[in-house]
Structure 1
């Protein structure tokens, strides 16, 4: 069994479409292996994949590599994945599954100047975005922090041509919305950040705030720009 580090939090038809999309993606990852899989969405919104068969270990590792894995225990100093649940003046709060929240203090975010809210807006950190962190050590009063790899990823976003990050939509739905709004030629690709979190990568001459304003009317989602 592996619990994927990406939450499913929409309801109704959107939930059914997202679940079908996830099943297809799981099949793409493990389809060539000798395994059977069963997918369930836990009460906390994290997908749980039961894997059985001769290649079960390889399949679990492949799924964890593709999505990140939510684990029941932390080892201090090791890297894990949580989803951005909330933020306040004190820092970020990540949902790490199994009923646990992990607080990243403002001083441990490591993404430059500004309040946690300002940093969230500047880097386009939509709610529920999967983010990697390093577990703290309560015995030594050592807090959790964003991982170096996570910081590098987010800084890379600010060095490109610009992005519009969204939540509450699958990659296919996001691409369809961009096309519907007539902006297919204004983007490079839609990068999957999580099951329902996507990053629309802009062409060099595309204005991210303008793209956001144009597609926002079609998307019942949170949208944030990353402007170089």
Structure 2
């Protein structure tokens, strides 16, 4: 079984649609392998995929690479994926399936000056977006606090240097694309990048203003929206 590092936190019909979308995504990744699989959901909203068959090991590795994996035990100095749960003046808290969450102190974010709230705004970090971190594990024999992984810092810096973005949570990629097109913005974005199952990043064209796009489509998306302006 693989527990995927992306959360399914919506309710009602939206939850059913999200599960259907996840099944399709999993099928796209491992459907050609010699396996049978079943998608479930844990009590903490992390989805699990039970896999059997001759290619089960390959299939599990493919899903780990695509989504990241929630594991029962963390090892100091190893890189994992957690979802962006909360923030305060002290730093970020990521949910990596460990109960109390993994705290990333403000001085371990590595994303430049400003408070954690200001950094969140600068990089358009919506709640629940998956983020890679290095586990410090002071309580488990490690040397110090957890920190954002270097590859995660590089990715977020690239967001701020590249085309403008509008980041969205609580919606699948198909739902975001459909909303943009229905609102008359089909020509205003290049693509919708999947960050997690329910977290997406709309990559704008060079002449599209992300705050203007947010103002236009915000009423159609019952979601949190954050801009990244280069």
Q: Same fold by TM (over 0.5)?
A: yes
Aligned equivalents of 2:63, 2:104: Cα separation in 1: 26
Aligned equivalents of 2:53, 2:39: Cα separation in 1: 15
- SS of structure 1 residue aligned to 2:196: coil
Q: C-alpha offsets along residues 69-115 of structure 1, whole Å, 9 cap, x if unaligned? A: 01111111110000000000000000001424000000000000000
Task: Structure 1 unaligned segments of length 5 or more: list them.
Answer: none
- What does residue 19 of structure 1 align with? 19
- What does residue 144 of structure 2 align with? 142
- What does residue 52 of structure 1 align with? 52
- SS of structure 2 residue aligned to 1:43: coil
Aligned equivalents of 1:96, 1:161: Cα separation in 2: 30
Q: C-alpha offsets along residues 165-211 of structure 1, whole Å, 9 cap, x if unaligned? A: 00000000000010011001010000000000000000000000000
Contact 2:76 2:142 in 1 (8 A): no
- What does residue 198 of structure 1 align with? 200
Aligned equivalents of 2:12, 2:41: Cα separation in 1: 14
Give, in angstroms, the shift of residue 137 of structure 1. 2.8
Runs of 4+ in 1 over 4 A off after TM superposition: none
Contact 2:6 2:197 in 1 (8 A): yes
- What does residue 173 of structure 2 align with? 171
Cα pair distance change 1:17/1:140, threshold 3 Å: closer
Give, in angstroms, the shift of residue 141 of structure 1. 5.0
* 1:85-164 equivalent positions in 2, closer than 5 A: 85-138=85-138, 139-164=141-166
Give, in angstroms, the shift of residue 142 of structure 1. 0.1
Normalising by the residue count of structure 1, what TM-score does the alignment of the two structures yield?
Answer: 0.99
Cα pair distance change 1:70/1:140, threshold 3 Å: closer
Normalising by the residue count of structure 2, what TM-score does the alignment of the two structures yield?
Answer: 0.98
